[in-house]
């Protein structure tokens, strides 16, 4: 499992279009945005390769000027399961 967060800087004139495109990407959730074009998102993927693909896709969205990863966690889902004694 891979969970990460990022701040996107989007041209204000394309903010609505870019946010609509963001919501179409699997595992992407928008948490905050400003009228000036700063958008905070989280991305959740099952493996690291698809996480990298997601970041490439973010850069390709309309109006996106930059993407800055803020946090990243990668771990095995079995790490969180309880072990019975």
Model confidence pLDDT, tens digit, residues 2-50 = 899 999 999 999 999 999 999 999 889 999 999 999 999 999 987 766 7
Total domains in the chain come to 1
Bigger pLDDT: 46 vs 72: 72
Q: What is the pLDDT of residue 8?
A: 98
Give yes or no for residue 66 having a pLDDT over 80: yes
Q: What is the pLDDT of residue 50?
A: 72
Q: Is residue 16 part of a domain?
A: yes
Buried-state track 12-30, b at ≥16 Cβ within 10 A, e below 16:
eebbeebbebbeeeebbee
Residue 66 CA, chain-centre distance (Å), reads 13
The domain of 8 spans 2-76
Give yes or no for residue 54 having a pLDDT over 90: no
Q: Is residue 82 part of a domain?
A: no
Q: Is residue 85 part of a domain?
A: no
Q: What is the pLDDT of residue 83?
A: 52
């Amino acid at each position: 499992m891979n969970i990460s967060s990022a701040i996107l800087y989007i041209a204000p004139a394309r903010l609505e279009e870019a946010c609509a495109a963001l919501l179409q990407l699997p595992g992407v959730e928008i948490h905050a945005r400003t009228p000036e074009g700063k958008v905070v998102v989280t991305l959740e993927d099952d493996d690291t390769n698809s996480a990298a693909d997601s970041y490439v896709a973010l850069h390709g969205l309309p109006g996106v000027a930059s993407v800055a990863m803020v946090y990243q966690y990668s771990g095995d889902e079995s790490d969180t399961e309880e072990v019975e004694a």
